[in-house]
Structure 1
Amino acid sequence: MTHPATTPFDLHADGDPPADPWVVARSWLPADDDPERPQVTLATTGADGCPDARTVLLTAFDETGFAFHTARTSRKVAELAADPRAALVVLWPGFTRQLVVRGGVVPDGPADAARAWAARSDHLRRLAWLGTDELAGLDRAGRVAGWAADVPTGADTDPAPGWVGYRVRPVELTFWAGGVDTASRRLQYSLVEGTWRTRWLAG
C-alpha cells in the first residue's frame, strides 16, 4: 500500500489527537514502496520465559498490522509459534520520535509476501537463499565461496522456501516525541472492545 506523504503528526500541538491511530502512523512511517525500510526492534518471549529481541526490517504496514519477514528456521519463529504475541519498537534518528506496537502475531498472506520479496534488495534475497547456520559455521574462505554460489533460477521473483512473513496486529500503539522547550510526551492508543481509546502519558 502506498501512503501519501504527510507532515508527521506533532504530539506537542494543541487540540485533540486523531481518533484513529493509523492516521498518526501513516504520517510518521514511510510508504510501503519506499525502498528505505525502517529498522525496528522485535521483542518476543523466549522458550525460557525471558524476553528476547532483535532488529528486523518493517516490510509494510496497514490497518491489518505491521509486517516483517525472516528465516523459517530462526529462533523468533519458534518463539512466535509458542507465544504468538510481540512488540515492535520504531526509533527515529536522534531519538526524536518513537513508536511502540504491542499485539498478536499472525502469518502474513502469500500475496503480501510476494510483494515484500519483490521489494527486497538483491543482497537480502541472496541472504534468504544462502544465509544458513551451516554457512555461518565455515571458515572465512568457505563462507566467501558459499556466498558466491549460484541461487536458483527465478530467485529474484520466487521467495526462498525458508522465507516467511508475519504481521503484528496491534492492540496498543504508543507514540512518543521528545521535547526541546517542554517535557517529552506519549500518546497511547488502546483497542478496547473494537474501539480505540486514547490517553496522554508522561514521556
Structure 2
Amino acid sequence: MTDGGVVGGLAHGADADDDVPVDPLALAARWLPAPGSGVTPTMTLSTIGLDGYPAARTVLMSLFDGRRVHFHTDSRSRKAAEIAAVPRATVTLVWPELARQLVVTGDVERVTDREARDAYTARSRYLQVLAWLNDDDLAAVEADHRRTRWAAFDADCPDLDPPTTWAGYAITPVRMVFWRGAADAPSNRLRYDRTDAGWTVARAAG
C-alpha cells in the first residue's frame, strides 16, 4: 500500500509518530476517509443511557466533513432517545492492522434534511431497505417471515426515498484522542481538548 492509499478507512502513511499538529481536525482528516470516497468505517457510538449507565453500539460513520463526525440512525431507536435527553456522545474508531485508534467526544446535533437525504442516497441498496424495515415488530417474527417481507418490499420498491424515521446526527468535537501503537516502542496518545482559545494538546501513555 503506497502513501495516500486507504486501509480499513485510514489514510496509510499519513503521519509519523512524532507528528503533533496544532489542529486535531487536520490530523483527523488524514486518518479518516475523504468525503465522497465511499468508505464508511464502523465505529463504536457511546451515549449516556436513560438509566444513567453508559450505552454503546456499533454504527457506520457516514462522513467526516472536516469539522464534525456524521452518523445516521432510526429516530425511534434507543440511541436517538438518549441523544435527545443528553446531546453528547463519544465515537471510537479502531484500525488494528495499523495500530491506530481515534476517540472523538463532543456535542451532538441533528443535521439538515438535505444532509440526511444525501447520506441516504449514498447508502447501499441493502442499507436503504434496512432503514425502512428495521423495526421491533418485524424483528419479533420468525426469520422466514422476515426474509419474505424483505424480498417483497425490495421487489415492490425499486426507488427509495429516506423514510420519515431516517435521522442524521453530527458530533462537534470537544476532545479528540489519537492512539498510535508500535511493535518496537511503547504506544502513545495525543489528547486534544478544545478551549475558548483553541486546542490544547498533550502526550499520554498508551
RMSD (Å), alpha carbons: 1.8
Offset from partner CA, 1:49-83 (integer Å, 9 cap, x none): 00000000000012431000001110000000111
Q: Which amino acid aligns with 2:109?
A: V
Tell me the distance in 1 between the aligned counterparts of 2:204 and 2:124.
Answer: 39
Structure 1 residue 91 corresponds to structure 2 residue 94: yes
Q: 1:142 is paired with a residue of what secondary structure?
A: helix
CA contact (8 A) 1:125 1:155 kept: no
Q: 1:138 is paired with a residue of what secondary structure?
A: coil
Tell me the distance in 1 between the aligned counterparts of 2:138 and 2:153.
Answer: 14
- Give, in angstroms, the shift of residue 34 of structure 1: 2.1
Tell me the distance in 1 between the aligned counterparts of 2:120 and 2:35.
Answer: 12
CA contact (8 A) 1:92 1:98 kept: yes
Structure 1 residue 196 corresponds to structure 2 residue 199: yes
Determine which of 138, 146, 150 is the counterpart of 2:149: 146
Residue equivalent to 2:110: 107
Residue equivalent to 1:183: 186
Change (3 A) 1:168 1:202: same
Structure 2 length normalisation: TM-score? 0.89
Structure 1: which 5+ runs fail to align? none
Q: Which amino acid aligns with 1:8?
A: A
Determine which of 27, 31, 34 is the counterpart of 2:30: 27
Tell me the distance in 1 between the aligned counterparts of 2:131 and 2:21.
Answer: 39
Offset from partner CA, 1:4-28 (integer Å, 9 cap, x none): 8764222x23x6x111111111111
Structure 1 residue 130 corresponds to structure 2 residue 136: no
Offset from partner CA, 1:115-172 (integer Å, 9 cap, x none): 211110000000001111111111122111111122675743x211111010111000
- Give, in angstroms, the shift of residue 36 of structure 1: 2.6
The 4+ residue runs of structure 1 with deviation greater than 6 A are none
Determine which of 10, 15, 32 is the counterpart of 1:9: 15
Tell me the distance in 1 between the aligned counterparts of 2:126 and 2:81.
Answer: 25
Offset from partner CA, 1:87-121 (integer Å, 9 cap, x none): 00000033600000001100011221122111100
Determine which of 12, 19, 42 is the counterpart of 2:45: 42
Tell me the distance in 1 between the aligned counterparts of 2:197 and 2:74.
Answer: 33
Change (3 A) 1:155 1:53: farther
Q: 1:34 is paired with a residue of what secondary structure?
A: coil
Structure 1 residue 52 corresponds to structure 2 residue 26: no
Tell me the distance in 1 between the aligned counterparts of 2:165 and 2:159.
Answer: 12
Determine which of 72, 77, 81 is the counterpart of 2:75: 72
Determine which of 168, 173, 192 is the counterpart of 2:171: 168
> In percent, how many aligned pairs have the same letter?
41
Tell me the distance in 1 between the aligned counterparts of 2:119 and 2:51.
Answer: 32
CA contact (8 A) 1:22 1:62 kept: no
Tell me the distance in 1 between the aligned counterparts of 2:91 and 2:28.
Answer: 13
